[in-house]
Amino acid sequence: MDAAALKELCLSFPGAREEFPFGERNSVFTVAGRMFALTPLAQRPLRVSLKCDPDLAVQLRRDHPAITGGYHLNKRHWNTVVLDGSVPDTLVTEMVEDSYDLVVAGLPRREQEKLHWIGLSAGDP
């Protein structure tokens, strides 16, 4: 996945916005003012930090060397993924979707309804 595809994916979710609170080099993707993805889009190799269920975060780090604890973030709840081709794009896409869902799940119901969010399915974090 390249920078353009990552940006397009992050902005494909209802209410998603790109902001730059940490400077112009770091794209922060938010929903209702809460971050679900952080990436320096111009950096090579490309990397993205994503919110993750803590148990799944540990499993993903164990299974993929390119996935580590969130860089400068709470490592219990965030992973950083180096997009060097070793992590399949389908998994990266799922991780971005999960990050968005985790953030929206924490929003007040009124905000969730504005986003037409269906919610996490049974068994999801």
CATH assignment of the domain containing 60: 3.90.1150.30
Q: What is the DSSP letter of 85?
A: S
Q: Tell me what pLDDT residue 120 has.
A: 60
Sheet-wide strand order for 34-39: 16-19, 27-31, 34-39, 47-51, 78-82, 67-69
16 forms bridges with which residues in the sheet? 31
* Token code pair at residue 68: 């580590």
At residue 117 the predicted structure's pLDDT band, cuts being 50, 70 and 90, is confident
Which of 42, 43, 62, 44 is CA-nearest to residue 52? 62
- Is 26 a member of any domain? yes
Provide the domain count of the chain: 1
- Is 56 a member of any domain? yes
- Is 120 a member of any domain? no
Mean pLDDT of the chain: 91
- Is 119 a member of any domain? no
Q: Tell me what pLDDT residue 42 has.
A: 85
Q: Is the pLDDT of residue 65 over 90?
A: yes
Q: What is the mean pLDDT of residues 89-110?
A: 94
Range of the domain at 90: 3-114
Q: Tell me what pLDDT residue 73 has.
A: 77
Q: Tell me what pLDDT residue 124 has.
A: 45
- Is 125 a member of any domain? no
- Is 122 a member of any domain? no
- Is 96 a member of any domain? yes
- Is 49 a member of any domain? yes
